[in-house]
Structure 1
Amino acid sequence: MVPALAIILLFQLVGEVVSRALHMPLPGPVLGMIGMVFALSASEGLRELIRPVAQGLLSHLSLLFVPAGVGVVAHIPTLVSHGLALALSLVLSTLLAIVVGAVTFTLVARAVRSYPDE
């Protein structure tokens, strides 16, 4: 278990070092995860070493949401005072994203002459 966790953290560390050294806009853990995906797809042994630890981490992933929940509870007065504005911005941004996605899909479908009704 310890070697597998060390490998996972090593990929995160390498991603962080590369991200900071090259001043990339991509976060280091994301770069590390991309590197780990390539490494796992290339090595069956690495996959088998990391699989049990990864499954254990994924089974307890909900624990990572606890700090976010505590943060929400800690800022309830702010949420109450700005609740209407937050709710309105969430609803409008969601609707805007849906509309932009639908329009983009339609334009791309027309560009490649493929229609959803066909």
Structure 2
Amino acid sequence: MLKQFSIILIIYFLGDLMQKALGLPIPGNVLGMLILFFSLYTGVVKLDMIDKVSDFLLENMAFFFLPAGASLITCFALLEGKLTAILAVSLISTFVILAVTGLTVELIQRFFRKKPVKIASCIENKGDKANNNGSGRNTKNVHARENRREEVI
């Protein structure tokens, strides 16, 4: 596990060194993550070379936020008058992030499904009252769509 941790640290230091040497406005740790991503993508770094330490770090992620939380408590006097504004911004940004994430997932799912929709099959059963279960939905079309979706998956 020490070897795996060393790989991650070396990549982090490469990103930090790159940021300082080139004077980039992107933080070194973000550059390190990009280097790690492209290293994994190209196969320079194999997943099994860092998987155990990555699992360990992800499982204990909350522990690494403790110093940041403790520093907020020590600076509480600075935040005291602005607490409602900070709370409002936090709530609004949380809902915006949730909405954008949901829309992004929907767009990606639509992009990868890309199946042709047969409009004729939907139109021919539109007036069929025998297939309507009282909910206003044509159950025959719903089941046909579900079957097509299962075939694709």
**1:82, distance to aligned residue in structure 2 (A):** 3.4
- Report the counterpart of residue 72 of structure 1 in structure 2: 72
Structure ranking higher in helix proportion: 1
**1:85, distance to aligned residue in structure 2 (A):** 4.8
Bigger Cα displacement from structure 2, 6-15 vs 67-76? 67-76
1:62 aligns to 2:62 (yes or no): yes
Alignment-mate amino acid for residue 92 of structure 2: T
**TM-score, with normalisation over the residues of structure 1?**
0.67
- The 2-side partners of 1:85 and 1:34 are apart by 33
- Report the counterpart of residue 94 of structure 1 in structure 2: 92
**TM-score, with normalisation over the residues of structure 2?**
0.53
Residues 64-103 of structure 1 show CA distances to partners (whole Å, capped at 9, x for unaligned) of 1111221222223333233345446x27x938x95xx99x
Cα distance, 1:58–1:84 mapped onto 2, change above 3 Å: closer
Count of residues in correspondence between the two structures: 98
1:40 aligns to 2:40 (yes or no): yes
Bigger Cα displacement from structure 2, 54-63 vs 67-76? 67-76
Residues 15-65 of structure 1 show CA distances to partners (whole Å, capped at 9, x for unaligned) of 111111111111111111111111112228621020111011100000111
Higher relative contact order (CA 8 A, sep 6+): 1
**1:5, distance to aligned residue in structure 2 (A):** 0.7
Identity %: 27
Q: Greater Rg, structure 1 or structure 2?
A: 2
**Structure 1: tracts of 5 or more residues without a match:** 103-118
- The 2-side partners of 1:78 and 1:32 are apart by 32
Cα distance, 1:72–1:50 mapped onto 2, change above 3 Å: same
SS at match of 1:82: helix
